[in-house]
Structure 1
């Protein structure tokens, strides 16, 4: 049973289970109404009525979910009275919600778990992302900058990492439905292609607000950055639920030096799944071209990866945040026959 309709009861020892079996709501013998994650037995929510004489819980006809003592005293309630016909639903996402008769949410435990597995339909890095890695780029690839109206400065970009450009271009290609770029040697690309990736790198910085965000997250302590990362997850996973690739800024280093931001990374999230306390994000990492097995694992104590990681703590990253994205036509990436080659 995954729902409590009006008039239904839970006696001591009874439980509700979600349709997928990943969570269960139990009225324990100690009087506590507890929501558990099945995988690892973690308690996600409780009514706080342990050691109190709760005899049963009931979804009342007036819309209130109430835990009562044997003598009829209410010991806990959802506070949703005044909504006849409401019911409690234990959802597959791990949330216990009281809905009114019209389907409007009145109360919830706010315990969404993002179990998944969910993936952006039709996307795999090995089939859709460029098969070349993140440099070195063809001779003559240059970053041109102009400051305060002075003559432009041209910087050699052949050894620069263009991860933001690679991630944005990959989403551009996928959303446009254009062919995969199958050349495997980035230095063999026509220079206009590399210049287009460089331009998309600059786009990935998104102007002053995103530059400021990069500077801030690079300076943050591990604890503060982890808190920010957890707050970003609903938006990141919401993109995947909507079938949209999500670019994220992956924070590798901690430093107050402004240039340290270039030690960080950009990747694309294309799927997710949860097992117990571990939320696994499936990633396109341009430093691991052609691989579908790159992940970032968000655990209770650490964020691990088998992709690009922190040099000081191999196999980990410090955190990440969602990057805003604006689509661009990827046709400049198809300059010259070399990008259409199969690559073997």
Structure 2
């Protein structure tokens, strides 16, 4: 293990420069303080924050935090060839690690990589393409209705418990979507007003 760490840090010294719009970190690449990695659709960004050293995934449209290490003092995040993704206070010193995915394996996998997906999830893949580790997708990307749902008409209560309260019909793919429509438009709910 110690030899692997020494080897890894020797390789980190020859880190391949990242492209500004890349959505992956290959083995032995680092995201340094102030650098960002974007999903291929541009909706999400992974930021190694220079201000506090926290590693954070943001939704670009509203700067909402999707995932974060919630540790501070990092100066770089390295996708290591042992399949471990680690935030370091100083990438040349393994004793300064701040956070890790804890996915190290007794292998040298120079084709392993970290990817920021179009759903906001971070995923580590082995060189063989197997998922090794991952974060949850952005809840906003999770479909409300089951796949294959067909449109229908649902009763919704608009502006409940106000003088404007009204029963109306909304077109939606499922009950949950009808409820979401009612909540978003008037603070209402799916179903008839009481």
TM-score by length of 2: 0.65
Q: How does 1:172-187 map to 2 (within 5 A)?
A: none
Task: State the superposition RMSD in angstroms.
Answer: 3.2
Shift of 1:13: 0.5
Residue 303 (structure 1) aligned with residue 175 (structure 2): no
Number of the residue aligned with 1:245? 149
Number of the residue aligned with 1:28? 49
Residue 89 (structure 1) aligned with residue 115 (structure 2): yes
Shift of 1:318: 2.4
Shift of 1:265: 6.9
Higher normalized helix content (fraction of residues): 1
Shift of 1:17: 0.5
Q: How does 1:183-262 map to 2 (within 5 A)?
A: 234=143, 236=145, 238-239=146-147, 244-246=148-150, 252=156
Number of the residue aligned with 2:127? 101
Higher normalized strand content (fraction of residues): 2
Residue by residue over 1:92-131, the C-alpha shift from the partner in whole angstroms, topping out at 9 and shown as x without a partner, is: 121111122232222222033555xxxxxxxxxxxxxxxx
Bigger-Rg structure (1/2): 1
TM-score by length of 1: 0.39
Stretches of structure 1 that go unaligned for 5 or more consecutive residues are 116-232, 254-262, 271-280, 284-294, 306-314, 321-344
What is the aligned counterpart of 2:97 among 70, 74, 87? Answer: 74
Distance 2:151 2:75 in 1: 50
Distance 1:110 1:23 in 2: 13
Shift of 1:234: 4.2
Distance 1:22 1:4 in 2: 17
Distance 2:54 2:70 in 1: 6
